[in-house]
Amino acid sequence: MAICSVDAGRPVALIGAGGIGKTSIALALLNDDRIKDKFGVNRRFLRCDEVQSHSHFLSRLSKVTGAGIGDTQNMTTLRPFLSSNHILLLLDNAETILDPHAPEAPALYASVEELSRIETISLVITTRISMVPTTCRSIEIPTLSAISARHTFFYIYTNQEQVPEIDPLLRELDYHPLSITLLATVAIQNRWDHSRLLREWGKHRVSLLQTPHTPGLSATIELSVSSPMFANLGPDARDILGVIAILPQGVNEDELVWIFSAVSDIRDIVNTFIILSLTHRNHGFVTMLAPVREYLKTDKCSCDLFVSTKNQYLTRLGDIARDSEHGRVQPQDIRWLVSEEVNVMALLTLFVEVDPEAQDIQRICLVVKKILDSTSLASHPMDNTTSSVRADPDTHYYPRNTLRTSSNQNIPPVLNTRETVPDGRHTLPTH
């Protein structure tokens, strides 16, 4: 798709979360035989994360494209050269210059937009920010397919048999290319067999995803949350992300105001998370990739926003429990409970772990069991109502058939609401 667009001369923007493989895809495009035949040596690569100002960007652009113009205060001096040479130009990590809150943002954006309009320039952009010139064809980069994730892992982890026990681990990583690459690298460098790797993952989780020579997953995520656009959201933004991360399904976009009642501009903040590729929409919920979610949810259970969210859920569940005990539970409450089941069970598990003797939570657990067991929707996890909600694979909560109250009464098993691997996950290895 990207090659066809470039071959046709249309600017392309590859958009996605950090570590999703945007640069790998762009470099593969840069080295494709059709692109080589068309552009020859005029295939240019410019790293935008090193750009410090608008004049610095123009200076780098002049050098990379071969214009060789020293004094470049604006595009005027570069325009004659760029308009007379057929060049494939790759602007990598362009979120740095597309961030609307970065220094000199209007001038930087204007220069990128002009580049996208020059007929002799075939422009390719990789960016986490979806605010790209309207002339660009935007291509959202999905996670890997299951097959490509396995290929990527075992391309690096070459000394061991390709055992199927690795597949659930790759699924827990949401088939995120960088996470898979880092995990395979750590495993091969430490000479772990697959059994040891699984044990280490169970103990350390995403803290494993770093190597001495490679920026880890944490560095990739922190790059996004330290951006000017994120900083402009205010001091609550990090905690809001943490609360979304604690909820396995993410947050229902229609209930943002209810969940975050204390945050006046919550819709604008969540929209910005999506623009920054920190979160994404999934069938009405705003959620995030599993490795990102696990990293961001650390130590957020004590923040004021999570306590507020906890109280919102407990109040609503308490009302449902009371109505159910009086035989007047409403159909809309049942539908909400089924649609939020994974979140509800995760939160109840967390609440029981914190306070196993809390009578109100025990009562809610038993009512949730009763309602879900008596609901036909709960018996058919692939029903249209429930299959639209995806549970991220690294969720940590007791299933309903193992969670128990202090009176040892079972709580029913969590629905398996996971979808099959979505069509469109890309198959290009990131090695």
pLDDT at res. 5: 57
Q: Which two tokens stand for residue 170?
A: 């790759």
* 351 three-class SS: helix
- Classify residue 430: in a domain, yes or no: no
Residues 254 and 154 in one domain: no
- Classify residue 410: in a domain, yes or no: no
Exposed / middle / buried, residue 264 (Cβ in 10 Å: 0-12, 13-18, 19+): exposed
Exposed / middle / buried, residue 358 (Cβ in 10 Å: 0-12, 13-18, 19+): middle
Q: How many CA atoms lie within 13 A of 361 on its CB side?
A: 22
Total domain count, the chain? 4
**Residue 211 DSSP label:** B
Q: How many CA atoms lie within 13 A of 21 on its CB side?
A: 27
- Classify residue 372: in a domain, yes or no: yes
Residue 287 main-chain phi, psi, to 5 deg: -135, -170
Residue 163, amino acid: V
Residues 99 and 9 in one domain: yes
Residue 124, amino acid: V
- pLDDT per position as a tens digit, 200-236: 999 999 999 988 887 789 999 999 999 999 999 999 9
Q: Which two tokens stand for residue 39?
A: 């552009």
Band (pLDDT 50/70/90 cuts) for residue 25 is very high
Residues 186 and 236 in one domain: no
Residue 239, amino acid: D
- Classify residue 193: in a domain, yes or no: yes
Residues 6 and 126 in one domain: yes
**Residue 259 DSSP label:** H
Say yes or no to pLDDT of 133 above 90: yes
* 47 three-class SS: strand
Give the ranges where 14-161 is alpha helix by DSSP (H): 22-30, 33-39, 54-65, 79-83, 95-98, 105-117, 146-156
- Classify residue 318: in a domain, yes or no: yes
Please, what sign has the CA dihedral across residues 295, 299, 305, 309? Answer: positive
The answer to whether 291 and 206 are in contact (CB under 8 A) is: yes
Which of these three, 236, 269, 296, is where a domain ends? Answer: 296
Q: What is the CA radius of gyration of the chain?
A: 24
Residue 283 main-chain phi, psi, to 5 deg: 55, 50
pLDDT at res. 156: 95
Mean pLDDT of the region 374-389: 44
pLDDT at res. 6: 61
Residues 274 and 238 in one domain: yes
Residues 20 and 90 in one domain: yes
Give residues with Cβ within 8 angstroms of 345, minimum separation 6. 368, 397, 398, 399, 400, 403, 411, 414
pLDDT at res. 329: 85
Nearest Cα neighbor of 79 from 116, 125, 115, 47 is: 115
Band (pLDDT 50/70/90 cuts) for residue 389 is very low
Residue 223 to residues 181, 229, 233, 253, 419, Cα–Cα distance (Å): 19, 11, 15, 25, 30
Q: Beta 12-15 vs 137-140: how paired, if at all?
A: parallel
Residues 41 and 128 in one domain: yes
Which of these three, 117, 140, 163, is where a domain ends? Answer: 140
Q: What is the largest CA-CA distance in the chain?
A: 80
CATH number of the domain residue 49 falls in = 3.40.50.300
Say yes or no to pLDDT of 369 above 90: no
Residues 67 and 15 in one domain: yes
Say yes or no to pLDDT of 299 above 70: no
Q: Which two tokens stand for residue 134?
A: 């309207």
- Classify residue 420: in a domain, yes or no: no
CA 153, CA 170: separation in Å to the nearest integer? 8
Beta strands in 210-347 (DSSP E): 251-252, 280-282, 285-287
Residues 239 and 109 in one domain: no
Which of these three, 103, 122, 140, is where a domain ends? Answer: 140
Q: Which two tokens stand for residue 325?
A: 């005990």
**Residue 214 DSSP label:** B
Report CA 192 to chain centroid distance, whole Å.
Answer: 28
Say yes or no to pLDDT of 46 above 80: yes
CA 49, CA 59: separation in Å to the nearest integer? 14
Give residues with Cβ within 8 angstroms of 359, minimum separation 6. none
CA 257, CA 259: separation in Å to the nearest integer? 6
Q: How many CA atoms lie within 13 A of 60 on its CB side?
A: 21
Band (pLDDT 50/70/90 cuts) for residue 43 is very high
Lowest-pLDDT choice from 71-80, 169-178, 367-376, 395-404:
395-404
- Classify residue 321: in a domain, yes or no: yes
More confident residue, 372 or 431: 372
Residues 235 and 207 in one domain: no
Containing H/E element for 46? strand 43-47
CA 377, CA 362: separation in Å to the nearest integer? 23
- Classify residue 27: in a domain, yes or no: yes
Residues 118 and 154 in one domain: no
Say yes or no to pLDDT of 398 above 50: no
Residues 245 and 136 in one domain: no
CA 143, CA 137: separation in Å to the nearest integer? 19
State the Cα torsion 121-125-129-131 to the nearest 10°: 20
Domain containing 275: what range?
222-296
